[in-house]
Every structure is written in structure tokens, then in C-alpha cells.
Amino acid sequence: MTNKPETSTTAAPEPGTAPERTGAGPRLASRWRIVLAAGAVLALGATAGTGLMVRTAVEQQEERVAETAALAASVDLDASQLDTHAGILTARAAQAAEQALSGGDAAIAAASGKADAGQLAASVAALRSFELLAPERVFALVDATEAQIAAVQAGIVEFDRIAAERAAADRAAAEQAAAEQAAAEAAARQAPDSADAPSIPAPPADPSEAQAIARELMASQYGWGDDQFGCLVALWSAESGWNVYAGNASGAYGIPQALPGSKMATAGADWETSARTQIIWGLGYIAARYGTPCAAWGNFEANGWY
């Protein structure tokens, strides 16, 4: 009998089953399951990420559409609403233009002779045709006109300030001149002009006897000097020529031409013949009536008597 080596037979694995491994087999199977799980997670994440990206893009598109619609509504893209908006803008421009024109015309009128309003006048002229201009152009002209109005008004204020200062200075100068004129007139009244003042005669170089008596009595009784003596000599020379017996039809008599001559009796009983008695009375009359012989002489020159 021949002995054959025994052979071990292994049953073939059934279809759909993994071959059974011994030793490292369980560990390898576990790793394989981990890989499969990770792959599934990655696949799921990729799918989910794609979906998230698609949803975000859609939402952004919808937001842009909404913003566009809101913008369209805010700017009145509707034809009828757009016409209304344009009408309101035009009306506002017209109102602003009319106000600027009114202010500009007033400033130009006020600036006459005071400030340069040339640029303002040009802007006003351009703005008068505002009905033919676009609202934007009207608003620009209004801004320029208002700025020029302010500049012209500032020039008017400065002109008025300078004019007021000059007027005040002129008034002060006129008042000072009037005061000086009044002072000069007052001084002229107090001191008559030399042309109108009576001339003061010089005393005679060789007085007569009667004149010598008068000079001595003037100095001793009244303290009058030669200046007054010259006036007395001229006065009585004109009245009587220093004649003790001089008389006239009116009744005046003697050197001083007393009227009547008998008045001189108060100075002495010899009044008809005494030069001293007549001179004493005559000096007393002058002192009492005029104050000084020169004042009596001035009255004589003015009126022909004393």
C-alpha cells in the first residue's frame, strides 16, 4: 500500500463573501471601513457644499433684483411719476430764480454810486431767461447770483461807513468853524475895528495956558495921562477953540460949551470969565457922562456933540 501525502482541501468561498484572512485580516478590514466612511463623508460634504454655493448665488441674485426694483421705485422710473418729479424740480428752480432776481435787482439799485455791480448785473441778465434753461443750470446761476449779491451788499455797507465817517468829520469841522466865527464876532463887538474907532489925537506940543491948566487938573484929579489929554484938546478945540467966551445961539457957553452956561456956576462964581472954573466943571461933566475924554471924543465924532 502506497502512502500518499495528505493534502488539505479548503472550501472555496461563497460568492459575495470576502475571503477569510487570518492574522492581520481583522485589522485591515477595520481600516477599510474607516476609509469607506471618510469617503462617504467627503462625498456628502462636497454635495452639501455645492448645494450651499448654489443657494447663496441664488439669494444674491434675488437681492440684486430687489435692490434694482427699489431703486427704480425711488427714482420714479414710471413715466408719469418721472414727469411729476421733473415738474417739481422745474418749479423749484423757477422759485429760486425769481427770488435771486428780486434780490439782485434790489442790490443793483442800492449799489448805484456806491459799489461795482457789473458782475451781478451780468448774472441777473443771464438768469432772466431761466424758463429756457435746465434746472441744473438755473440752480448754478442762482448760486452765483446770490454770492455776487452778498459781495455787492458788503461793498455798499463799506461805502456807507466811509461816507458816515466823512459826514461826521465835515460836521465837526463846520461846528468848529462856526464856533471860531462866533468867537471872532464877539471879539470884534468887544473891540471895535480900528476903521470905526475914533482917532485919538496927540496932545499939543505947546499947549495954551488953558490947556496947561486942563493937563494939570486931569492928572491930579482923575489920573488921566497924555493919551486922554490929546482927546480933550481935540474935543474942546472943536467945541469952542478953548475960548473962555465962546457961545452960540443955543445958549452953550465957554470952553466946555456948557448948556446953559450957568451950569458952570457949580464950579465957581466966576464961571463966565475963568478958564480954570470952566475946565473944572467940564472935566467933571466928562467923567460923569462918558468916563474919559477919549470916550467923549468918540461920541462927538460919531454924533457931532458930546
Shared-domain flag, residues 285 and 228: yes
Nearest to 101 by CA among 151, 138, 132, 155: 138
- Listed residues 129, 152, 173: the one ending a domain: 173
Shared-domain flag, residues 164 and 219: no
Q: CA-CA distance, 166 to 7, in Å (whole number)?
A: 145
Q: Please tell me whether residue 258 adopts helix, strand or coil conformation.
A: strand
The answer to the question of residue 95 being in a domain is: yes
Q: How many CB atoms sit inside 10 A of residue 55's CB? A: 10
The answer to the question of residue 49 being in a domain is: no
- Listed residues 112, 147, 173: the one ending a domain: 173
Shared-domain flag, residues 152 and 225: no
Per-residue pLDDT at 205: 61
Phi/psi for 11 (5° steps) reads -70, 140
The answer to the question of residue 288 being in a domain is: yes
More confident residue, 73 or 302: 302
More confident residue, 90 or 2: 90
Q: CA-CA distance, 237 to 242, in Å (whole number)?
A: 6
Q: CA-CA distance, 47 to 39, in Å (whole number)?
A: 12
Residue 107 structural domain: 81-173
Asked if 224 and 293 count as a contact pair (C-beta separation under 8 A), the reply is: yes
- List, for residues 90-128, the tens digit of each pLDDT value: 999 999 999 999 999 999 999 999 999 999 999 999 999
- Listed residues 118, 153, 173: the one ending a domain: 173
Q: CA-CA distance, 17 to 156, in Å (whole number)?
A: 112
- List, for residues 278-290, the tens digit of each pLDDT value: 999 999 999 999 9
- List, for residues 184-238, the tens digit of each pLDDT value: 888 877 755 544 555 677 766 667 899 999 999 999 999 999 999 999 999 999 9
Domain count, the chain: 2
Rg, C-alpha atoms of the chain:
68
- List, for residues 39-70, the tens digit of each pLDDT value: 544 444 444 444 444 456 567 557 655 654 55
Q: CA-CA distance, 19 to 124, in Å (whole number)?
A: 106
Asked if 275 and 241 count as a contact pair (C-beta separation under 8 A), the reply is: no
Shared-domain flag, residues 262 and 218: yes
The answer to the question of residue 254 being in a domain is: yes
Cα angle value 113/116/122 (rounded, 5°): 120
List of residues 6+ apart from 254 with CB closer than 8 A: 240, 244, 245, 246, 247, 261, 264, 271, 272, 278, 282
Shared-domain flag, residues 147 and 232: no
List of residues 6+ apart from 20 with CB closer than 8 A: 13
Compute the mean pLDDT over every residue in the chain, rounded to the nearest whole number: 80
Q: How many angstroms separate the Cα of 232 from the Cα of each of 166, 186, 235?
A: 58, 30, 5
Residue carrying C-alpha cell 473962555? 244
Dig out the grid coordinates for 56 from the structure: 447663496
Per-residue pLDDT at 80: 60
Q: Average pLDDT for residues 126-137, to the nearest whole number?
A: 94
How far is C-alpha 115 from the chain's CA centre?
15
Per DSSP, 130 falls in state: G
